[in-house]
Structure 1
Amino acid sequence: MTALVIVESPNKVKKIQKYLGTGYVVAASVGHFRDLPQKEMGVAPPRFIPKYVITNMRVVSNLQQKAKDAEMVYLATDPDREGEAIAYHLREALRLKNYRRIAFHEITEKAVKASLAEAGDIDMGLVAAQEGRRVMDRLVGYRVSGPLSDRLQQRASAGRVQTPALRLVVDRENEIRAFVPTNYFEVVATFEAETGKWEAKWDSKPYLKAGQDYFQDEAFANSVATLREFTVQDISTKPVTRKPPPPFISSTLIQAASSQLKIKPKKAMQLAQELFEAALITYHRTDTPNLSDEAVGMVWDWLRQNGKDNYIPPAANKWKAKGGAQEAHEAIRPTDFSNREANNVSSDAARLYDLIWRRAVASQMKPACFDETSIHLRSTQTTNDGRQQDFHAKGRVMTFNGWMALGADNKQSQQLPSLSGGAVITSSDTMVKAKRTQPPKRYTEATLVKKLEDSEIGRPSTYASIMETLTSRHYVREHKEGKGKQVYLAP
């Protein structure tokens, strides 16, 4: 018996063919090959039934020939809404009678063969969802883009997702332009100790008027800055923990790639696709922040094998998915945690893999532990209003690195000395710090993706294309701000 297995990407064909061996022929649809027509609406009332046309006849003809020689056709397109739609279009365009829908979330021999054993039918609910979004894009975009282009006298487009994304950038720019800064003052006392210098900040809250957030009386702040001698009113230490972050989903991977690796969203998703097709990671279009039980076991096996038994938590760490998450498959993770580095891929893909590996492993480790100390000081002298003033200091010391053992950034907090209640200490300096409130920050690629996710605008598969459209069509301008950070400005 000969079976035809149709995947989306040609890059998957060779590897899957190797896993399946003789008796199977693996071919690619090369993504979408059937779509609404380009030069007409393609959908009309009252029933709004889409009119589809073949956009890649060469691919369809090739698949039709292969399907004729197969006793069974397996539709192995990607395990998401778009993949389900492509499977449907394959069935329709090839006029398949004997077919089964299979899906795997990682390109490994075990996953591919398991999907054949669990073959089912096309999920028409997902197909309808994809079709509904495609029709909405056409009804809005096709009708608005023409007049918009005429008005701007350049090629322009309106979209169901890109339009609110652009609105966010414009609204933020308007906030910045309307922002009126407030000058205010803080007072900080500095002390010397064997553990190093440490600071305590003046508590100005008793002097704030109703509705006031910042202390603005410079003369009184200067009076506070004359204080040098303080009594320890209270000192307390408590244990605190910092839990590991969840493994990556599409949006958080894009954010991390942008902020940590300086890789743009479109490139990040291309690199993730490269890693997926190389069988190094699970499917990268997901909004589920949890790992499968099997994956958790793989992480813990790696920790045991590397002498980190005491880093394994008593139970798997879990996170709640955001509302609307499909939760069809697990978070992004390596297919094999023993592969500490990604080989035979591009250098940028290897860097992204390292990020994915560390995040997935860290997600199933114990929290980092700290001793957090708070000190309450009161001045022995008074200010010009006849009152003693309170100062507060906080510091912490790591007692167990937990998931941070994997090299997570841990900004050191000040270390406070061992003091006893009633002790009198003298500052080496007490000074006024003049400050000014800052306007809202412009969006970076990472923060704009986070805002879209928080606002439930778009889906994991759309974030990269949104960013690409906004910049390539010059709806926003990219600008370096601060420490070379790339931000979006409204045009």
Structure 2
Amino acid sequence: MSNLVIVESPVKANTIKGYLGTNYKVVASKGHIRDLPKSTLGIDIENDFEPKYINIRGKAELINELKKEAKNATKVFLATDPDREGEAISWHLATALGLDEKKAHRVYFNEITKNAVREAIQHPSSINPDLVDAQQARRLIDRIVGYKISPLLWQKIKNGLSAGRVQSVATKLVVERENEIKNFVSEESWTIDANFKGNAGKKFRLRFFGNKKGKIELLSKEDADKILSALEGADAVVSSLKKGTKKRTPAPPFTTSQLQQEANRKLSFQSKKTMSVAQELYEGVSLGKGGEHGLITYMRTDSVRVSQDAANAAEKFILENFGEKYYPKTRRVYKTKSNAQDAHEAIRPSDVTLTPELAKPYLTNDQYKLYRLIWCRFVASQMEAALYDTMAVEVTTTGDKGEYLFKGKGETRKFDGFMTLYTVSSDEEDKEDEENVIFPKLEEGEKLTVLDVTPKQNFSQPPLRYTEATLIKVLEEKGIGRPSTYTPTITTILSRGYIERQGKFFCPTELGFVTTEIMDKYFGTIVDYRFTAGLEESLDSVAEGKLEYKKVLHDFYDRFLPLLSKAESEAERVEVKGNVEELDILCEKCGAKMVVKKGRFGKFAACPNYPQCKNTKQLDNLGNIVEKKPDVVVEGMTCPECHGKVLLKKGRYGEFYACENYPKCKFTKQISKEAGVACPKCHGKVIMKRAGRKVFYGCDNYPECDFSSWYMPTGEKCPHCEEGYMVKKKADSDPVCSNKNCPTNKKVK
């Protein structure tokens, strides 16, 4: 008789098969096999909240097959995911298959590698009832909220709506941010910048601060003019010059929420896509003759802990590939937040020696991008800090109307450290306004020339709408939900129409406003941020065996039932206005009032009688109609395919040439823009070209010269290796060599 190993997914099963011998049969349950019924509440509230689980429709044949396999097996290993949901699946499997404690063995592994799987099989344990209870408590509370409040929303607003303990709170966040923006009153302020020049002859810019007593706020033009008047003919001197050094330490390896946020910022991945691709990397991909391998650790975690073996492997890799100065004298140990579940490690590569470039031939483009992000973040987290020289300069101006201070700070990186591999991105609302100033050589007491003084009027800006990254960030900060809930929560409130995407930002719909108003009015406690976070802490206590899960259910229901009764008796029907915005513009083709629609590239005006009338018009950022300019005939140019006239047209990616006889003749030609530098290969002109949505740089002597680059070339050869050429990966970044093997290119490939 052989042993049976049960996992959730066929992909995971296929990977594990290669690690175990012929004495083990690995099968997949394909997720949950039992759940609460869809048609009824499925909870006997009067009988101490007893759940009524049933087999999921369509799983009967699978359950029978699993029963046969389990009956014939010597041992049954339940190898579902190492979290509460995975524990619940194992418990349901053991119950449905009639497994006793002697036959059922629970195994845990944080990464799907040969060593991890075999180690887990050799040291099995039993199902953890506390984790099962924590999952049950969440499931039952969410079912009560959904099944009790949703019918109320159907009666009072419209059919098909749903309420959820976490989804309603997430919607509320988006609605409250929108109200903040609508109610925001902009305040005027002024800044004054001055350019100075010292003995070195190079100018530098500082910002007006105030005087020795402190900062002076310039709230009007009159305030600014007063200072400008005082600066006329004033002398300037360097009154303070402080030099120092600053360390910038790496961020810890990824938790689930941090991975979702960073993938959204750096890769433009939505959280649903991030978790789907991460699941593929965790469960295993084929590495050719190397077989199936799980490339990352378990991707649902809020821990930043790293195992000793993983830290040792990272140390060895860094020393061998970067050198001693890139590894810190003291190993980095990151502290997990107090409310986090620390049972798992952070998200990291399961084998640090499998670099992204080595894995790339076996991965899809999305898998490669995410694996590279995870790999670089982990390795960088174990590296030495980046080191900066800093300088803070104060200049005092003295005139007939008093002394005033100008201040500025600058920093220059002198050792890249972990930043040779990875830099953390930031949200727009987190970016500081203070400019990094590059100072010439200065001495304290040095007299300066005031070159010019520039006032600037500013107006305070409302907070930005949430992006997917910033919404996940605030959910985590407020303790709302857990790593496994962020993605389904956002997916649900989008699909239900409570919020919608406008570019990368979330905007509440009229439905979202109305639903939030009702939830706030009648279920304020349930959608209160502190209550929701407190409930999460109670569920954590259940998982730790410190709290009985039935008590959590009773406490919740005792608070919930009076709110529900009041809402059912008092709430009135609310009419939701459609989200269609009419324009005071008539369709010139059929006479109907045009409406605002949303497409892939933003809002546009459309006829409401579509598809009978397909008239559309472009809108600008202010919602005004953009009059379409007539196509211009290009003089002296004829179509090379049909000899018709060539027109200058404007498309999604800018201007291009096209034949007048379209669609009969489909000739088009890109209009290339000069980059303003010489080709590093033949000294021809470098031009900007487009491949799909991406811009690249090529030589105008193509095909005689095959130079091309995704990055902006500077026109110079690399002074170190003389094989590569210098490119800028960002407009404001330092040039780097294009040659991967150049000694200056420290990124591991």
* TM-score, with length taken from structure 2: 0.62
Moved more, 147-156 or 27-36: 147-156
| 1:418 maps onto 2:441 in alignment | yes
Amino acid at match of 1:66: E
| 1:215 maps onto 2:230 in alignment | no
- Shift of the alpha carbon at 1:233? 0.7
| 1:487 maps onto 2:506 in alignment | yes
- Shift of the alpha carbon at 1:338? 1.4
Distance 1:196 1:259, change over 3 A: farther
Q: Secondary structure at the match of 1:71?
A: coil
Q: Matches of 2:303 and 2:127 in 1, distance apart?
A: 22
Tell me which structure has the larger Cα radius of gyration: 2
Percent identical among aligned pairs is: 40
Distance 1:151 1:286, change over 3 A: same
Q: Matches of 2:162 and 2:439 in 1, distance apart?
A: 57
- Shift of the alpha carbon at 1:378? 0.5
1:339 aligned residue: 354
Q: Matches of 2:136 and 2:121 in 1, distance apart?
A: 26
Q: Matches of 1:196 and 1:94 in 2, distance apart?
A: 80
| 1:158 maps onto 2:163 in alignment | yes
1:171 aligned residue: 176
1:442 aligned residue: 465
1:235 aligned residue: 241
Q: Matches of 1:356 and 1:427 in 2, distance apart?
A: 49
Instruction: Pick the aligned partner of 1:323 from 338, 346, 350.
Output: 338
Q: Which has the higher helix share?
A: 1
Amino acid at match of 1:429: D
Amino acid at match of 2:409: K
Q: Give the gaps of 5 or more residues in structure 2.
A: 285-293, 426-430, 511-749
Q: Matches of 1:196 and 1:21 in 2, distance apart?
A: 73
Contact in 2 for aligned 1:8/1:28 (Cα 8 Å): yes
2:81 aligned residue: 78
1:88 aligned residue: 91
Amino acid at match of 1:53: I
Contact in 2 for aligned 1:371/1:399 (Cα 8 Å): yes
Distance 1:114 1:362, change over 3 A: same
Contact in 2 for aligned 1:173/1:490 (Cα 8 Å): no
- Shift of the alpha carbon at 1:113? 0.4
| 1:357 maps onto 2:357 in alignment | no
Amino acid at match of 2:156: R
1:247 aligned residue: 253
- Shift of the alpha carbon at 1:349? 1.4
Q: Secondary structure at the match of 1:167?
A: helix
Higher relative contact order (CA 8 A, sep 6+): 1
1:31 aligned residue: 31
Contact in 1 for aligned 2:174/2:506 (Cα 8 Å): no
Contact in 1 for aligned 2:380/2:422 (Cα 8 Å): no
Moved more, 216-225 or 2-11: 216-225
**How many residues get paired?**
481
Amino acid at match of 1:477: E
1:433 aligned residue: 456
Q: Secondary structure at the match of 1:143?
A: helix
Q: How does 1:261-300 map to 2 (within 5 A)?
A: 261-278=267-284, 279-300=294-315
- Shift of the alpha carbon at 1:205? 7.3
1:53 aligned residue: 54
Amino acid at match of 1:60: I
Contact in 2 for aligned 1:303/1:312 (Cα 8 Å): yes
Q: Give the gaps of 5 or more residues in structure 1.
A: none
- Shift of the alpha carbon at 1:430? 1.0
Q: Matches of 1:197 and 1:95 in 2, distance apart?
A: 81
- Shift of the alpha carbon at 1:48? 0.3
Contact in 2 for aligned 1:207/1:215 (Cα 8 Å): no
Q: Secondary structure at the match of 1:82?
A: helix
Q: Secondary structure at the match of 2:190?
A: strand
Instruction: Pick the aligned partner of 1:256 from 248, 262, 282.
Output: 262
| 1:19 maps onto 2:19 in alignment | yes
Q: Matches of 2:23 and 2:179 in 1, distance apart?
A: 63
Amino acid at match of 2:268: K
Distance 1:12 1:197, change over 3 A: farther
Q: How does 1:103-118 map to 2 (within 5 A)?
A: 103-118=108-123
Q: Secondary structure at the match of 1:395?
A: strand
1:466 aligned residue: 489
Q: Matches of 2:66 and 2:273 in 1, distance apart?
A: 30
Q: Which has the higher strand share?
A: 2
Task: Provide the aligned C-alpha RMSD in A.
Answer: 2.0
Q: Secondary structure at the match of 1:19?
A: coil
Q: Matches of 1:367 and 1:490 in 2, distance apart?
A: 45
**Deviation by residue 1:199-252 (Cα, 9 ceiling, x = unmatched):** 21111377999xxx9421322313433536411111011111111001100000
Distance 1:407 1:73, change over 3 A: closer
Amino acid at match of 1:244: P
Contact in 2 for aligned 1:100/1:121 (Cα 8 Å): yes
1:132 aligned residue: 137
| 1:101 maps onto 2:106 in alignment | yes
Amino acid at match of 2:267: L
2:631 aligned residue: none
Distance 1:19 1:308, change over 3 A: same
Moved more, 19-28 or 317-326: 317-326
Moved more, 57-66 or 119-128: 57-66
